[in-house]
């Protein structure tokens, strides 16, 4: 019920989507990377929610201040909750890591995007450009930004190589494949030489290990039976000689 003379107030809307299309490669890369980071954290018992393409708002009362990272990490947040939108003022939690896949608009992804992520307060931003080549003049494959005391979000690494180190992950992000088939994977080791397995690869490795163990057990059993048979034969021979 409105009180006579009082101004009509409208609740601010914080949309979950802007219905804008995107290059499919962004979604394909996110579909591989998001669950991989999630499993990586679970195995290391690091609680976090790993999401993809949800709007994150960071200025109460201003729905235009928002970003929808291709992949992001919310530290300490339940991994199993379903996020529609995330409002940082409700929890005080901002992404520790955001991974952005660059599209065709270089100015947006190379300049405007990092500035917006600086406003959000993200600790580390990794920008990956699937359209960059080793000889590109205007595009770079990797850019890494980190929050530095008194300087804000600063670009600390630029590379045309196939991998960069993530301080938040304590691992590497590595480009696998080429062209439209390029994907981002987690890699470990001093130089990122060891790929962290996907769920499918982990299941396959577990099945192969189980099959190898089964075969080894069967081989050991057969060897033991042969040895027992040989010992029985030796004992029989000794008995015959002693008669």
216 — phi, psi (to 5°)?
A: -65, -40
Instruction: Answer whether residue 204 shows pLDDT above 80.
Output: no
List the chain domain ranges. 24-196, 197-243
Residue 116: which of 105, 103, 100, 130 has the closest Cα? 100
24-196, what's its fold? tt1808, chain A (3.90.1570)
**Average pLDDT for 81-104:** 96
Detail the DSSP E strand segments found in 63-151. Answer: 66-67, 71-75, 85-87, 97-101, 124-128, 142-148
Identify which has the larger pLDDT, 234 or 155.
155
Instruction: Answer whether residue 85 shows pLDDT above 60.
Output: yes
pLDDT band at 12 (very low <50, low <70, confident <90, very high): confident
Three-state DSSP class for residue 239 = helix
Whole-number Å distance between alpha carbons of 56 and 84: 9
Q: Are 58 and 42 in contact (CB under 8 A)?
A: no
Instruction: Answer whether residue 7 shows pLDDT above 80.
Output: no
Q: In the predicted model, what is the mean pLDDT of the chain? A: 88
DSSP annotation string for 208-223: HHHHHHHHHHHHHHHH
Within 10 Å of residue 55's Cβ, how many Cβ atoms?
19
Measured in whole angstroms, the distance separating CA 204 from the mean position of its chain's CA atoms is 20
Render pLDDT for 183-202 as a digit per residue (tens, 0 to 9): 999 999 999 999 999 888 77
């Amino acid at each position: 019920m409105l009180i006579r003379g009082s101004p009509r107030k409208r609740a601010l809307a914080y949309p979950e989507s802007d219905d804008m299309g995107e290059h499919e490669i962004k979604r394909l890369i996110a579909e591989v990377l998001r669950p991989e980071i999630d499993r990586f954290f679970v195995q290391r018992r690091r609680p976090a929610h790993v999401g993809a393409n949800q709007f994150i708002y960071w200025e109460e009362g201003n729905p235009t201040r928002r970003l929808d990272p291709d992949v992001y990490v919310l530290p300490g947040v339940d991994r199993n909750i379903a996020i529609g939108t995330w409002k940082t003022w409700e929890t005080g939690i901002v992404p520790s890591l955001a991974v952005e896949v660059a599209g065709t608009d270089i100015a947006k992804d190379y300049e405007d995007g990092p500035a917006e992520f600086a406003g959000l307060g993200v600790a580390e931003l990794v920008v990956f450009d699937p359209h960059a080549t080793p000889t590109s003049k205007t595009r770079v494959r990797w850019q890494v930004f980190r929050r530095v005391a008194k300087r804000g979000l600063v670009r600390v690494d630029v590379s045309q190589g196939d991998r960069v180190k993530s301080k938040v992950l304590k691992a590497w992000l590595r480009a696998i494949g080429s062209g439209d088939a390029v994907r981002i994977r987690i890699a470990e080791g001093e130089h990122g030489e060891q790929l962290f397995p996907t769920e499918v690869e982990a299941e396959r490795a577990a099945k192969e290990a189980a099959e190898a163990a089964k075969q080894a057990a069967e081989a050991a059993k057969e060897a033991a039976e042969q040895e027992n048979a040989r010992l029985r034969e030796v004992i029989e021979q000794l008995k015959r000689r002693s008669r």
